[in-house]
Amino acid sequence: MSARIAVFASGGGTNLQALLDHFNRPDGPTPARVALVITDRPGIGALERAERAGVPWRVIGVAGRPEEDVVHETLATLEGEGIGFVALAGYLRRVPADVVRAYHGRMTNIHPALLPAFGGKGMYGVRVHRAVLEAGCKVSGATVHLVDEEYDTGPIIAQWPVPVLPGDTPETLGARVLRIEHRLYPAALEALILGVEPNAEALATAFCGCEADAPAPEEIRRALGLD
Ligand code: GRF
Protein backbone atom coordinates (compact mmCIF):
# COMPACT_ATOMS: atom_id res chain seq x y z
CA MET A 1 0.00 0.00 0.00
CA SER A 2 1.38 3.41 -0.86
CA ALA A 3 2.05 5.95 1.89
CA ARG A 4 -0.40 8.81 2.31
CA ILE A 5 1.08 12.31 2.42
CA ALA A 6 -0.53 15.44 3.86
CA VAL A 7 0.81 18.73 2.49
CA PHE A 8 0.54 21.87 4.65
CA ALA A 9 0.58 25.19 2.77
CA SER A 10 -0.22 28.87 3.37
CA GLY A 11 0.10 30.41 -0.08
CA GLY A 12 0.15 29.83 -3.81
CA GLY A 13 1.19 26.23 -3.49
CA THR A 14 3.63 25.76 -6.36
CA ASN A 15 5.56 23.21 -4.29
CA LEU A 16 2.27 21.47 -3.50
CA GLN A 17 1.69 21.34 -7.26
CA ALA A 18 5.13 19.79 -7.82
CA LEU A 19 4.32 17.13 -5.21
CA LEU A 20 0.91 16.47 -6.80
CA ASP A 21 2.45 16.23 -10.27
CA HIS A 22 4.98 13.71 -9.01
CA PHE A 23 3.10 11.55 -6.54
CA ASN A 24 -0.43 11.69 -7.96
CA ARG A 25 0.40 11.32 -11.63
CA PRO A 26 -1.91 8.85 -13.29
CA ASP A 27 0.78 7.13 -15.36
CA GLY A 28 2.64 4.96 -12.99
CA PRO A 29 3.13 3.64 -9.53
CA THR A 30 4.72 5.91 -6.98
CA PRO A 31 5.42 4.88 -3.41
CA ALA A 32 3.05 7.49 -2.02
CA ARG A 33 0.17 9.81 -2.81
CA VAL A 34 -0.78 13.28 -1.66
CA ALA A 35 -4.00 12.38 0.15
CA LEU A 36 -4.76 15.59 2.06
CA VAL A 37 -3.98 19.32 1.93
CA ILE A 38 -4.14 21.43 5.09
CA THR A 39 -3.95 25.21 5.14
CA ASP A 40 -4.22 27.79 7.90
CA ARG A 41 -6.38 30.14 5.81
CA PRO A 42 -9.16 29.96 3.19
CA GLY A 43 -9.08 31.36 -0.32
CA ILE A 44 -5.49 30.58 -1.24
CA GLY A 45 -3.98 29.08 -4.37
CA ALA A 46 -2.99 25.87 -2.61
CA LEU A 47 -6.65 25.05 -1.98
CA GLU A 48 -7.54 25.60 -5.63
CA ARG A 49 -4.75 23.23 -6.59
CA ALA A 50 -6.04 20.59 -4.15
CA GLU A 51 -9.56 20.99 -5.49
CA ARG A 52 -8.36 20.68 -9.11
CA ALA A 53 -6.41 17.53 -8.26
CA GLY A 54 -9.39 16.01 -6.46
CA VAL A 55 -7.48 15.83 -3.18
CA PRO A 56 -9.42 16.42 0.05
CA TRP A 57 -8.49 19.58 1.91
CA ARG A 58 -9.14 21.18 5.23
CA VAL A 59 -8.58 24.69 6.61
CA ILE A 60 -7.33 24.52 10.20
CA GLY A 61 -7.25 28.05 11.58
CA VAL A 62 -4.55 28.80 14.10
CA ALA A 63 -4.80 32.51 14.93
CA GLY A 64 -6.22 33.24 18.37
CA ARG A 65 -6.90 29.58 19.24
CA PRO A 66 -5.43 27.68 22.19
CA GLU A 67 -2.62 25.45 20.95
CA GLU A 68 -4.24 22.32 22.39
CA ASP A 69 -7.30 22.84 20.19
CA VAL A 70 -5.12 23.14 17.11
CA VAL A 71 -3.16 20.02 18.09
CA HIS A 72 -6.33 18.05 18.66
CA GLU A 73 -7.93 19.08 15.37
CA THR A 74 -4.72 18.56 13.40
CA LEU A 75 -3.94 15.10 14.81
CA ALA A 76 -7.55 13.96 14.49
CA THR A 77 -7.60 15.09 10.85
CA LEU A 78 -4.27 13.43 10.00
CA GLU A 79 -5.12 10.21 11.78
CA GLY A 80 -8.63 10.14 10.29
CA GLU A 81 -7.09 10.22 6.80
CA GLY A 82 -4.42 7.62 7.60
CA ILE A 83 -1.60 10.06 6.93
CA GLY A 84 1.92 8.60 7.16
CA PHE A 85 4.01 11.60 6.11
CA VAL A 86 3.56 15.36 6.41
CA ALA A 87 5.22 17.74 3.94
CA LEU A 88 5.28 21.44 4.81
CA ALA A 89 5.33 23.47 1.60
CA GLY A 90 5.25 27.17 2.23
CA TYR A 91 3.38 26.71 5.52
CA LEU A 92 3.98 29.87 7.51
CA ARG A 93 2.92 28.67 10.97
CA ARG A 94 5.03 26.89 13.54
CA VAL A 95 3.66 23.35 13.79
CA PRO A 96 2.80 22.56 17.44
CA ALA A 97 5.38 20.37 19.19
CA ASP A 98 2.87 17.58 19.86
CA VAL A 99 2.13 17.29 16.13
CA VAL A 100 5.85 17.35 15.29
CA ARG A 101 6.46 14.59 17.85
CA ALA A 102 3.64 12.45 16.45
CA TYR A 103 5.31 12.61 13.01
CA HIS A 104 8.92 12.42 14.20
CA GLY A 105 11.15 11.54 11.23
CA ARG A 106 8.11 11.70 8.92
CA MET A 107 7.58 15.46 8.63
CA THR A 108 9.56 17.48 6.08
CA ASN A 109 9.93 21.14 5.08
CA ILE A 110 11.47 22.92 2.11
CA HIS A 111 13.47 26.09 2.63
CA PRO A 112 14.63 28.37 -0.20
CA ALA A 113 18.29 28.66 0.89
CA LEU A 114 21.18 26.48 2.02
CA LEU A 115 20.46 25.88 5.71
CA PRO A 116 21.68 26.39 8.37
CA ALA A 117 22.35 29.81 6.79
CA PHE A 118 19.43 32.15 6.18
CA GLY A 119 16.87 30.21 8.21
CA GLY A 120 14.93 30.76 11.42
CA LYS A 121 11.87 32.65 12.53
CA GLY A 122 10.87 35.41 10.11
CA MET A 123 13.13 34.06 7.34
CA TYR A 124 10.70 33.23 4.57
CA GLY A 125 9.86 34.28 1.04
CA VAL A 126 11.64 37.25 -0.44
CA ARG A 127 13.33 38.07 2.88
CA VAL A 128 15.52 35.01 2.51
CA HIS A 129 16.72 35.97 -0.96
CA ARG A 130 17.27 39.60 0.07
CA ALA A 131 19.47 38.43 2.96
CA VAL A 132 21.45 36.13 0.65
CA LEU A 133 22.11 39.02 -1.75
CA GLU A 134 23.00 41.43 1.08
CA ALA A 135 25.52 38.91 2.41
CA GLY A 136 27.20 38.82 -1.00
CA CYS A 137 26.76 35.07 -1.43
CA LYS A 138 27.75 33.63 -4.78
CA VAL A 139 25.69 30.47 -4.30
CA SER A 140 22.29 29.88 -2.76
CA GLY A 141 20.05 26.85 -3.08
CA ALA A 142 17.22 24.83 -1.64
CA THR A 143 17.11 22.57 1.42
CA VAL A 144 14.71 19.78 2.33
CA HIS A 145 14.91 18.87 6.00
CA LEU A 146 13.07 17.00 8.70
CA VAL A 147 11.00 19.22 10.96
CA ASP A 148 11.80 19.56 14.63
CA GLU A 149 10.32 21.87 17.22
CA GLU A 150 12.24 24.96 16.06
CA TYR A 151 12.24 26.84 12.76
CA ASP A 152 14.47 25.36 10.04
CA THR A 153 16.78 23.41 12.35
CA GLY A 154 15.91 19.73 11.79
CA PRO A 155 18.28 17.24 10.11
CA ILE A 156 18.94 17.97 6.45
CA ILE A 157 17.74 15.38 3.92
CA ALA A 158 18.90 17.03 0.68
CA GLN A 159 20.25 20.29 -0.70
CA TRP A 160 20.83 21.57 -4.19
CA PRO A 161 22.89 24.62 -5.17
CA VAL A 162 21.67 27.55 -7.25
CA PRO A 163 24.05 30.25 -8.47
CA VAL A 164 23.63 33.89 -7.54
CA LEU A 165 24.10 35.86 -10.77
CA PRO A 166 25.27 39.44 -11.30
CA GLY A 167 22.31 41.79 -11.28
CA ASP A 168 20.08 39.39 -9.36
CA THR A 169 17.21 40.87 -7.39
CA PRO A 170 15.49 38.95 -4.58
CA GLU A 171 12.76 38.16 -7.11
CA THR A 172 15.01 36.80 -9.88
CA LEU A 173 17.03 34.74 -7.41
CA GLY A 174 13.84 33.49 -5.76
CA ALA A 175 12.42 32.37 -9.09
CA ARG A 176 15.64 30.46 -9.90
CA VAL A 177 15.61 28.76 -6.49
CA LEU A 178 11.91 27.92 -6.82
CA ARG A 179 12.53 26.01 -10.05
CA ILE A 180 15.00 23.79 -8.17
CA GLU A 181 12.63 23.43 -5.21
CA HIS A 182 10.05 21.89 -7.52
CA ARG A 183 12.58 19.23 -8.59
CA LEU A 184 14.22 18.66 -5.23
CA TYR A 185 11.20 18.32 -2.96
CA PRO A 186 9.45 15.40 -4.69
CA ALA A 187 12.74 13.51 -5.07
CA ALA A 188 13.84 14.10 -1.47
CA LEU A 189 10.46 13.11 -0.08
CA GLU A 190 10.39 10.00 -2.25
CA ALA A 191 13.88 9.06 -1.01
CA LEU A 192 12.76 9.53 2.63
CA ILE A 193 9.63 7.42 2.10
CA LEU A 194 11.61 4.65 0.37
CA GLY A 195 14.38 4.88 2.95
CA VAL A 196 17.10 4.99 0.26
CA GLU A 197 20.63 6.27 0.85
CA PRO A 198 21.59 9.42 -1.05
CA ASN A 199 24.54 9.04 -3.40
CA ALA A 200 27.12 11.14 -1.56
CA GLU A 201 29.46 11.52 -4.52
CA ALA A 202 26.71 12.70 -6.87
CA LEU A 203 25.47 15.14 -4.23
CA ALA A 204 28.96 16.54 -3.77
CA THR A 205 29.58 17.03 -7.47
CA ALA A 206 26.31 18.96 -7.79
CA PHE A 207 28.07 21.80 -6.04
CA CYS A 208 30.75 21.89 -8.73
CA GLY A 209 28.33 22.07 -11.62
CA CYS A 210 25.66 24.45 -10.46
CA GLU A 211 24.32 25.83 -13.71
CA ALA A 212 22.20 28.93 -13.96
CA ASP A 213 19.03 27.49 -15.38
CA ALA A 214 19.34 23.77 -15.20
CA PRO A 215 16.78 22.14 -12.92
CA ALA A 216 18.77 18.91 -13.37
CA PRO A 217 15.98 16.46 -12.58
CA GLU A 218 18.00 13.36 -13.46
CA GLU A 219 21.00 14.49 -11.47
CA ILE A 220 18.83 15.15 -8.45
CA ARG A 221 17.25 11.71 -8.63
CA ARG A 222 20.64 10.03 -9.12
CA ALA A 223 22.15 11.95 -6.21
CA LEU A 224 19.28 10.90 -3.98
CA GLY A 225 19.78 7.27 -4.94
CA LEU A 226 16.48 6.95 -6.78
CA ASP A 227 17.76 6.00 -10.26
C1 GRF B 1 8.90 28.25 -1.15
O2 GRF B 1 9.95 29.09 -1.54
C3 GRF B 1 9.35 27.37 -0.01
O4 GRF B 1 10.71 27.09 -0.04
C5 GRF B 1 9.05 28.20 1.19
O6 GRF B 1 7.86 28.89 0.89
C7 GRF B 1 7.75 29.03 -0.53
C8 GRF B 1 6.40 28.48 -0.89
O9 GRF B 1 6.07 28.70 -2.22
N10 GRF B 1 9.00 27.38 2.39
P11 GRF B 1 4.85 27.93 -2.87
O12 GRF B 1 3.60 28.29 -2.05
O13 GRF B 1 5.13 26.47 -2.81
O14 GRF B 1 4.76 28.45 -4.25
Q: What does the pLDDT look like over 162-191, one tens digit per residue?
A: 999 999 999 999 999 999 999 999 999 999
Contacts of 53 (CB under 8 A, 6+ apart): 20, 24, 34
Ranges of the chain with pLDDT below 50: none
pLDDT of residue 227: 82
pLDDT of residue 1: 67
Ligand 1 touching residue 19 (CB < 6 A): no
pLDDT of residue 199: 87
Ligand 1 touching residue 90 (CB < 6 A): yes
Ligand 1 touching residue 123 (CB < 6 A): no
Class of domain 1-103: alpha beta
Domain boundaries, the chain: 1-103, 110-227
Strand order in the sheet with 139-146: 57-59, 32-39, 3-9, 85-88, 107-111, 139-146, 156-163
**Atom of ligand 1 at shortest range from CA of 45:** 12
Q: Which CATH superfamily is domain 110-227 in?
A: Formyl transferase, N-terminal domain (3.40.50.170)
pLDDT of residue 215: 63
In one letter, which amino acid is 120?
Answer: G
3-state SS class at 106: coil
The answer to whether the 1-103 and 110-227 domains have the same CATH topology is yes
**Atom of ligand 1 at shortest range from CA of 91:** 10
Residue pLDDT, tens place only, 94-129: 999 999 999 999 999 999 999 999 999 899 999 999
Catalytic residue among 22, 111, 129, 145: 111
145 is catalytic: no
